[in-house]
Structure 1
Amino acid sequence: MLVASDLGFTAGEHVYLGVNLFPSTTWGNFSYSTGDDRDDDARDAYQSLLLISLSVSQDTTYSNFVQQTKKLSAAKYGFVYAPNDEVDVITAHFYDSIIYYASMIRDLAEDDSPSFSGAALALLKQSFNFTSPINGPVTMSADGDRQSAYTIKNFNPISGQFEDYLSYPVVGRPRRLGVIKWPSGDRLPPSRPRCGFLGNDPSCAYVMPTSQVAAAVAIPVLLMTAAITAGVVLFRRWVSTSSC
C-alpha cells in the first residue's frame, strides 16, 4: 500500500482487496502500524483497502465453543492461546464436519437404508444441508462443498481498525453493515473507468465538428496560398532589381 501511495494511486480512484479470512498469523498482519516514520502514510493508504473475511457467528453458543476450545487445548494438549488470539474459524468447521457426517448417517438410518457405504454417503451429501450447534444452518453445494458467508471490511482511519461494511450471506441479498469511509467521498469508484481500462472506449472518441474540420483544412490552404503569392511577388521584385 505504501508503494501505491508513492505512485499516487490511493486517492480513492483505485480499490485494493486483501484476503483475511479470519484473524490468524497465517494470513499475516493487516495493521497499518509498524512503528516507523511511515505509519501516517500507511494509515492514509489503508483507506483504499477492503478486506474479505469469513462471517463468524457472534452468538453465545459460538462464544462458549471458543472458550471451551481454549480450555481443552491448554488442559489436554498444553497449547495456551495468547490473550488476544482467536480460535480459528476452521476449528469450528472441523467440528461441523463431524456433525455433517453424523447427520448423514442419521438420515440413512432413519430411511432404513440398506447400505452405509461411501457411495451412499457421496450420493446423499449432494446439496445436503444441516444445522450446526455452533454455527446454525449450514448449506452445502451440489458438489458437497460448504457454502460460506463473507464480510467485506473497510478501514476506519479514526479508529485505525477494519470495520464491517458489507455482508454476503449464503442465501439472500448482500446487506450493508456500516458506512463506507473512502478517500474520495462516501462511495466507491466506478468498477470501470469512463473511457475503459485502455482509454479506447468509443464513447470517449472525440469527433471534430464540421465547422472545425473546414477551418482546419481552409486555414493551412490560405496560409500556403499567401506564402506562394508573397514568394512570387518577392521573386519578381528581385528579378526587376537585378535587371536594372
Structure 2
Amino acid sequence: MKLSTVDCLFAHSLLMIYQFRSIWTQTNTPVSTRPSRELTMCYMLERNGVGTIYDYNKAAAAMDMALDYATNNILPSHVRLAGRYRDIGNVCSARTHIVGHALDLKDEGVSCAVYIGPGCGLVAEVLNNIAEVWDIPIIGCPAAGVGLSASMQDYYGISRTSFAYTTIADVMLRYFVTFNYTTPVFLLDQSADFFQQMGILIETTLKDNDDEVPYRPSNYYQFSSSTIDRQAMAKMLRSTTEFSRVVVICSTSDTVRKVMIVAGQLGMAAGDYVFLAVDLYQSNVWGEFTWRRGTKDDEAAKAAFPALLLLSLQVSVVDQSEAFWREVIKLSRNRYNYTFSAVEQNIVDPIVVHFYETILLYAQVITAMDAAEKNYLSGRKFTDTVANFSFVSPITGIVAFNKNSDRLLDYTIRQYNAESQAHEVIMAVPATSKGVTLLGNIRWFGAKAFPANAPFCGFKNENPACRPQPLRLTSWQMAAAVIIPIVVAITLAVFLRPRLKRLLYGDLHNFWWRIYENDVTVILGGLRAATSKSLKSTLNGSIHTVNRLQSSADRPHNYSTFDAGSIFSVSSSGKTIQSKTKKAKQ
C-alpha cells in the first residue's frame, strides 16, 4: 500500500519523538552516587564433623550459588559480597577457640561484615561475646542450641535461618496442650551431642511455660544409649507408668527402636501410652526410623511401632529444588572435590538449602536497610531488622522470621500406618498458629482419640470415684435395719424354744423316777426314820439280822423280815410312796 505525503510526515514525527524520549530517559536516569562497597561474609563453620548435620563440605557449593544469585538479582549496584571461610574444627564444643579464630581473621586484615555460622549453638554463644563488642551480626545455621547458657533474648546479635531446639520444644508444648497432657516424660540420651542439647533446651522451654504444662524435674530421665541395657531400660520405662502416659524419646532411630521393643514387652505399646520421637528429616545423623533391621526382633519392633509418633520438619520446596540439588552435587564435586553419598544424592538436604537462604537473607536485609539509609554494618540494627522480616526464596518460597529473629518453620506429626508400614502425616503444626491442625480423623488402636492424660482411677487409684464408698441408708432402710432383726429374733424364740428346751432338759425326763437320798423320809411300820441316814441304819440293821438268822440252823420257820402287812412308806418332795410288804415265805 502506498502512503501519502501526510502519512509519511506523521510517521517521521512519531519516530523523532520516540528517539528524543529515549535519549532523555538515558540522560536523566539517576545514577547512584554512593561509593562502591564490598562486604566480606566470614564463614565460621565446622568441617568433617562426626554426628553433625552441618558441614562446610556440603554447604560450600550452595553458598557460592546463593552469592551469584544475590549479586545478579538482589543487591544494589554499589554493593558487592565476598565470602571468606574459616575452619573452626569438627566438634560441637564451647572449647573450639572460636574467639581466637575471629581474632586471627582480624589480624590478617579481614574485616568481617557478618559471621555466617557456626552450626553449633554452644560455639555461636561464645562467638556472640566478641561479636557484641565489635557490633557484628551473626547468622547462625542452624545454631539450634543457642539459649543453653542464657535466654534467647540475651543474644540480640544472632539471627537463625534453620530450625532451633526451642521451636521443637514449642511444637511439643502445643501437642501437649491440645490433647491435655500435663505429665509428659522425657528420656534424654546423653551419648549424642545433638540430642543432649535438644533435651536441655526442651526442659528449659517447658520450665518457662509452667502455666501450660506443669514443670516437674522428676519427669526428665537422662541415660546413655551406649551403655544402657534392656533390663535398665525396662526399669526406666516402668517408673514412667507411675505418673505419665506420654513418653518423649530424644535419641537416634536405633535407640528409639530398642525402647519401643522393650515397651512392647512391658505391654506399654498397646494404645494406653503415646511415644514421641524427633525425626526432623532423613539424615544419617539419627538414622531411619523404621522397624526393619533384618534381625530376629523385627516382628517385636513392628508390633510396637504403631504407638510411636514422629515430629518432623515440613519440608517446603518448589519446582526448582531438584534442579538446585543437582547443581549443588555437581558444583561440590567439581569445585570442592566433595561427593555426596548415593542416599544423599536422592534427598534434598534442608540444612544445605538453609545455608543457601542464609546468604539470600543477608543480601535482602542489607538491600532493604541500604534503601532506608540505615547502618547495616551494625549487628544490633541488622538483627532488629531481621525480626519479623520476610522474603521470597527461589527454593522454598516465603521465608519469614519471628520477633526473636528466628526463622518460622512448619512442622508435622506423623503416625505409623500398618497398611503402608510407614509413618504418615496426621497433624500439621504451622509456624503462624498456636495450635495443632488435625489432617483427618485420629485412629489410635481402634479408638478415635489418643489415650487420656491418666487412667480413670488415676495412676495410684487417687480418684475418689474409685475408692470404696461408705454405705448411706435412707430412713426407710434404717428403720428396716432395726425392725427386721427384732422380728426375726422373736420368730426364732417362739418356734425354737420347745426344741431348745427338749434339747437341754430331755435327759432329765428319762430319769423322772430317781429320788435323791437327801429328799427321802422313811416310815417303816411304826418306826419313823427322818433322814436317809436313819433309813440306811434301820434297813441295814434289819437286813443284817435277817442274814444272820437265815444263816442260823435254829432260825424259826415262821420268821419273816417284816411282818406281813407292814407298811413301807417313803416320803420325797412332799409326796409319799407307800408299799405293803408281802407275806414271807414259810
Does TM, normalized by the shorter one, top 0.5? yes
SS at match of 2:342: coil
Q: What is residue 140 of structure 1 aligned with on the other side? A: 401
The within-5 A match list for 1:25-174 is 25-76=284-335, 77-83=337-343, 85-114=346-375, 116-172=377-433, 174=436
Report the more deviating stretch, 25-34 or 128-137: 128-137
* Residue pair 2:427, 2:439 contacting (<8 A) in 1 also: yes
Inter-CA distance 209–72: structure 2 relative to 1 (3 Å threshold)? farther
* Stretch of structure 1 that moved more, 89-98 or 119-128: 119-128
Q: Which residue of 2 aligns with 1:14?
A: 273
Match among 470, 491, 495 for residue 208 of structure 1: 470
User: CA, structure 1 residues 195+147, in 2 after alignment: closer, same or farther (shift >3 Å)?
Assistant: farther
CA, structure 1 residues 69+194, in 2 after alignment: closer, same or farther (shift >3 Å)? farther
Output one character per residue of 1:156-189: Cα deviation in whole Å (capped at 9) or x when no partner: 1222211111111112454333554532434321
Partner of 1:228: none
Q: What are the Cα deviations for residues 190-242 of structure 1, in whole angstroms up to 9, with x where unaligned? A: 23433444442445444333149x99xx9xxx9xxxxxxxxxxxxxx9xxxxx
TM-score, structure 1 normalization: 0.77
| Worse overlay, 150-159 or 109-118 | 109-118
**Contact 2:461/2:467, CA 8 A, preserved across alignment:** no
Distance 1:162 1:211, change over 3 A: same
Measure, in 1, the Cα distance between the counterparts of 2:409 and 2:369.
25
Residue type of the alignment partner of 1:42? A
Report the secondary structure of 2:356's partner residue: helix
User: What SS class does the counterpart of residue 21 from structure 1 fall into?
Assistant: coil
Q: CA deviation at 1:107?
A: 0.8
| From 448, 452, 456, the counterpart of 1:190 | 452
Give the secondary structure class of the aligned counterpart of 1:10: coil
Q: 1:115 to 1:131 in 2, by over 3 A?
A: closer
Residue identity matched to 1:104: V
Equivalent residue, structure 2, for 1:177: 439
1:45 maps to a residue whose letter is A
Q: 4+ residue runs of structure 1 moved beyond 4 angstroms?
A: 178-181, 202-206
Structure 1 residues 205 and 69: CA distance shift in structure 2, 3 A: farther
- RCO higher in structure (CA 8 A, sep ≥6): 1
Deviation readout 1:15-39 (Å, 9 max, x if unpaired)? 0001011100112231101112221
- In 1: Cα distance, 2:468 partner to 2:371 partner: 72
Question: What secondary structure does 1:143 align onto?
Answer: coil
156-165 vs 124-133, which moves further: 124-133
Q: Which amino acid aligns with 2:348?
A: V
Paired amino acid for 2:300? D
8 A Cα contact 1:70 1:87, kept in partner: no
Q: Aligned residue pairs: how many?
A: 219
- Aligned-partner SS, 1:60: coil
| Separation (CA, whole Å) in 1 of partners of 2:401 and 2:468 | 52
SS in 1 for 2:304: helix
Identify the range of structure 1 (142-151 vs 84-93) with the bigger mean alpha-carbon deviation. Answer: 84-93
**Measured at CA, do residues 183 and 67 of structure 1 come closer, stay the same or move farther in structure 2, by a change above 3 Å?**
farther
Between the aligned partners of 1:194 and 1:30, the Cα distance in structure 2 is: 33
Contact 2:429 2:436 in 1 (8 A): yes
Q: How far, CA to CA, are the matches of 1:103 and 1:26 in structure 2?
A: 32
Q: Deviation digits for residues 123-162 of structure 1, max 9, x if unmatched?
A: 2122222222212222212111112210111111222211
In 2, distance between residues paired with 1:174 and 1:50? 14
1:111 maps to amino acid: A
TM-score (norm 2): 0.34
Query: Would you say the 8 A contact 2:305–2:416 is kept in 1?
Result: yes
Distance 2:355 2:396 in 1: 12
